[in-house]
Amino acid sequence: MDAFSDLLRGVRAHGSLFGSTTLTPPWSLHFVDGAPLTLATVVRGGGWVVPEHEPPVRLGAHDTVLVRGPGTFTFVDEVGTAAVPVECGVECATPELGGTRHRLGWYDPGGPGAGEDGSTVFVVGAYPVRGEISRRLVEALPVVLRVDAGGALDPVLGHLADEIAVDAPGQQIVLDRLLDWMLVTTLREFFDRPGGRAPAWWAAQHDPVAGTALQLLHTDPAAPWTVAALARRAGVSRATLAKRFSDLVGEPPLTYLTNWRMALAADLLLERPGATVAEVARAVGYVDPFGFSTAFKRVRGISPSGFRRAAATAPGSAAVG
C-alpha cells in the first residue's frame, strides 16, 4: 500500500451528491453546503468558479477544479453576473434520500442540442470525507486546486459526458467510480505539476530509499519497525535511511509511523465502537494498551476513551464510518 492510496481510502464517491446541468447565460449556482471536498468540471462551454474568500477561477471545457470546504462557492457565467443565485444543496436532493434520480441531486439535460449552442454543461460531485486518515489528505490541499484540460483527465471526461446523457440501471455506481477516477487523476496531475504544492510525502514516494520505507510503513503499520529494520529492507545504512527520510518527508521515520498509527487508531475507535482500547492498540502495533494510550494522548491531546466519547457527542457524529 502506498501513502497516496492509504490516504484516499475514506474519500470515496458512494452515493455522493452529484449533479449535471446545461446552463445558458446568465446563471449563478451557489453551492451552499460547504462539502469537505467538491470536484467540479466543465464538459462543454465555460464559466467561473467563485470560492468564498478566494479569487475567481476561470474554467473552460474539460478544466477541473477541487474546492476544499467548509467554505462555499458559486459557479457563474461571468464574474459580477446579473443572474440571481440559485442555491444548490438546500433544495437539491441529498444521498440519504436514496434512489438514482435523487442521488443525482439536480439534473437538467437541457433541450435538444444542449451544449452545442453556446450553453455550458457543468458537472459537480460533493465528497463526504470520513475519518482522520482522509482528513490528512484533504488538509494537505489548497482551498482551490485547478487542473487544465488535456492529459489523463480527458478520457475520464469522455466517459462522464456519455454517462450523464443517459438514465440507465446502475448509473449511480458508474458515476461514483468515474468521480473517483477523476479525483485520483486530478490530484496526480496537480501534485506532479512543476512548482506545485504537493505534500512532502508525495515526492518522497518516488525516492528509492524514503519511498521504500514509506511503502513498508503503510503496508504493515503494526509491524515492530525500527530504523535499522527499515534500512535493511531499503538496502542502505541506518544513518542514510534516517537522513533521507527526514529530509524528504519532514520528520523522522518513527515519528511518522507514530503519527500514522494514531490516525489509524482514531478511525478504528470510531468505526468499531465495541472494540476495547486494548484491541485497537494491538491493531496498530502496540502490545501495551497503556503505552498506546500515552502515545495517543501525546499526539492527539486526549485519551483514546475521551476521543471516542467526544466524537460520539459531536454534531454529525452519525456520519462517521
- DSSP state string for 256-286: HHHHHHHHHHHHHHHH-TTS-HHHHHHHTT-
Model pLDDT, residue 77:
93
Q: Which residue has the cell 471516542?
A: 308
CB-side neighbour CA atoms (13 Å) of 50? 15
Q: How confident is the model at residue 231 (pLDDT cuts 50, 70, 90)?
A: very high
Is pLDDT above 60 for 115?
no
Answer positive or negative: Cα dihedral of 299, 300, 302, 305: negative
Exposed, middle or buried by CB within 10 Å (0-12, 13-18, 19+), for 161? middle
Q: Of 3 and 49, which is predicted with more confidence?
A: 49
Does the structure show a pLDDT above 70 at 123? yes
Q: In what order do the strands lie in the sheet with 120-127?
A: 107-108, 17-23, 120-127, 37-44, 64-68, 144-147
CB 91: neighbour CB atoms within 10 A? 10
Taking residues 88-94, what's their average pLDDT? 49
Which pLDDT value is given to residue 109?
Answer: 45
Average pLDDT, the chain: 82
Of 12-16, 26-30, 84-88, 257-261, which one has max mean pLDDT?
Answer: 257-261
Q: How confident is the model at residue 178 (pLDDT cuts 50, 70, 90)?
A: confident
Cβ neighbours around 146 below 10 Å, total: 16
The band of 101, judged by pLDDT with boundaries at 50, 70 and 90, is: very low
Of the listed ranges 18-22, 27-31, 208-212, 217-221, the least confidently predicted one is: 18-22
pLDDT band at 255 (very low <50, low <70, confident <90, very high): very high
pLDDT at 70 over 80: yes
Q: Which residue has the higher pLDDT, 93 or 64?
A: 64
- Over residues 75-99, mean pLDDT: 67
Q: How far is CA 252 from the centre of its chain?
A: 26
pLDDT, position 13: 57
Above 60 in pLDDT, residue 97? no
In this structure, what C-alpha cell is assigned to residue 134? 482522509
* Whether the predicted pLDDT of 211 surpasses 60: yes
Q: Is pLDDT of 117 > 70?
A: no
Task: Look at residue 159 and tell me whether its pLDDT is greater than 80.
Answer: yes
Closest to 39 (Cα-Cα) out of 172, 194, 186, 248 = 186
Strand partners, 30: 74, 87
The β-bridge partners of 17 are: 126
Quick one: pLDDT at residue 18?
55
In the chain the domains, ranked by start, together with CATH numbers, are 3-191 (2.60.120.280), 204-319 (1.10.10.60)
pLDDT of residue 286: 96
Share above pLDDT 90 across residues of the chain, in percent, rounded to a whole number: 42
Q: Which residue has the higher pLDDT, 167 or 301?
A: 301
Taking residue 288's Cβ as centre, other Cβ atoms within 10 Å add up to: 12
Q: What is the pLDDT of residues 274-283, one digit of tens each?
A: 999 999 999 9
Instruction: Say yes or no to pLDDT of 216 above 90.
Output: yes
Cell numbers representing residue 117 in the block: 449552442
pLDDT greater than 60 at residue 69: yes
